[in-house]
Structure 1
Amino acid sequence: MSQPITAEKLARLERLLERQDIHDTLTRFSRGMDRFDRELFLSAFHPDAVIAAGPFVGGPVELYDWASAGHEQGQVATHHNLLNVTIDIDGDTAHTETYYLFVGRNRDDSNWIAGGRYIDRLERRAGEWRIALRTNAIEWSGLVPTMDIPFSDVPDIHLDGAPARGKEDPSYRRPLINTRKPQIP
């Protein structure tokens, strides 16, 4: 037996949708940076946003140019992993705290790992949530021992697409299909 949809339940559903829209915004930043997808990255920020990240303080276009150049020069792969997210919504403004784990495979084959929190103010403008202000609280960093990437010796490992910084990455394929033959080692 289904229960009637009450005003309270509708309000909770609306809040849940707002939270999901905010979470999607935070994810667009990470994926855009890791895939070097400028358009996706910039879609996470209002054009007049201010971002303070390490030595950088400025807008989203300048941040993308600065960060992608640094990642291109320093790493062959990066992962901006988002962890715990706290979202406080007040009308068309939201404040978030997002724990992150950054991992980069450096060009010298070392692995850099860092953790911290993105502390953001998001604003809903024209019905769309985007970051208006970001502070990056870096709390620790270090190098992890290097080892070979698992399964790199499998001849057809990248037949379905090799990891890439760009839209040639398999995550952009639609529809995603498997072209590798069945094999059980």
Structure 2
Amino acid sequence: MTAAELEQRVVRLEALEAIRDLDARYCRALDDGDWATLVSLFTVDGEFVGLSRAQGHDRLRAFFAGLADSGLTAFWHHVTNLEIELEGPDVARARSFLWQPCVQDGVPHIAAGRYTDRLRRDGGVWRYLSKQVSFDYFVPLTDGWDHGRFTVAAAAATYPGRQFA
């Protein structure tokens, strides 16, 4: 292996690890309500698509800070099975699995789904261009997850163009 090949491999591994770290910081900032840190993880024109769509730092901050107003008062994001595709030195895509215990309108819920991210290295730092969540289920914990697929209208709406029975 040449020095150039080794350098290329190290650069790739550093990018992969930085993207994994970005997801960890996203979960921690979201769960802690640290909106300034959370918004800084997105590019200036970055967007979140899920329960709603918010683009740009001001709208992202308003959306995330407003979750409690919609009854979602506590959540704990657990992200795993991260798959990262580097599409160039400064562009990547990632997919991951989300498992999320939460409290909606005072009732414990359980949710699970997938994140699909587009990322860009911005000023040497990886940030989200787009972070999209699609839920597989979002239900009261007492109901069990298997009977509650898509019972929360907002979660079902995160599947654009998909028809539900």
Alignment TM-score > 0.5, same fold: yes
What is aligned with 2:126?
A: 129
Structure 1 residue aligned with 2:25, among 21, 24, 28?
28
Read off the aligned partner of 2:47 and give its amino acid letter. V
Change (3 A) 1:39 1:86: same
Displacement of 1:125:
1.9
Change (3 A) 1:128 1:8: same
Deviations 1:120-148 (A, max 9, x none): 110112211100122221121211139xx
Ranges in structure 2 where 5+ consecutive residues have no aligned partner:
144-165
Displacement of 1:106:
4.2
For the Cα contact (< 8 Å) 2:47–2:53, is it kept in 1?
A: no
Compute the TM-score of the two structures, normalised by the length of structure 1.
0.67
Root-mean-square deviation (Å): 2.3
- How far apart, in 2, do the equivalents of 1:77 and 1:57 lie? 20
Runs of 4+ in 1 over 4 A off after TM superposition: none
Percent sequence identity over aligned pairs: 25
SS state of the match for residue 93, structure 2?
strand
Q: Say whether residues 1:42 and 2:49 are aligned partners.
A: no
Structure 2 residue aligned with 1:144, among 127, 141, 148?
141
Query: Which region of structure 1 is more displaced relative to structure 2, 55-64 or 135-144?
Result: 55-64
Q: Which has the larger radius of gyration?
A: 1
What is aligned with 2:147?
A: none
Displacement of 1:77:
2.7
Count of aligned residue pairs for this structure pair: 142
What is aligned with 1:104?
A: 102
Deviations 1:91-117 (A, max 9, x none): 210000011112113452x21111111
SS state of the match for residue 68, structure 2?
helix
For the Cα contact (< 8 Å) 1:120–1:132, is it kept in 2?
A: yes
What is aligned with 2:116?
A: 119
Structure 1 residues 1-185: aligned runs within 5 Å:
6-71=3-68, 74-91=71-88, 92-106=90-104, 108=106, 110-145=107-142
SS state of the match for residue 99, structure 1?
strand
Deviations 1:39-98 (A, max 9, x none): 210121011112211233433432332233223662453101111101000221000001
Read off the aligned partner of 1:10 and give its amino acid letter. E
For the Cα contact (< 8 Å) 2:45–2:55, is it kept in 1?
A: no
SS state of the match for residue 67, structure 2?
helix
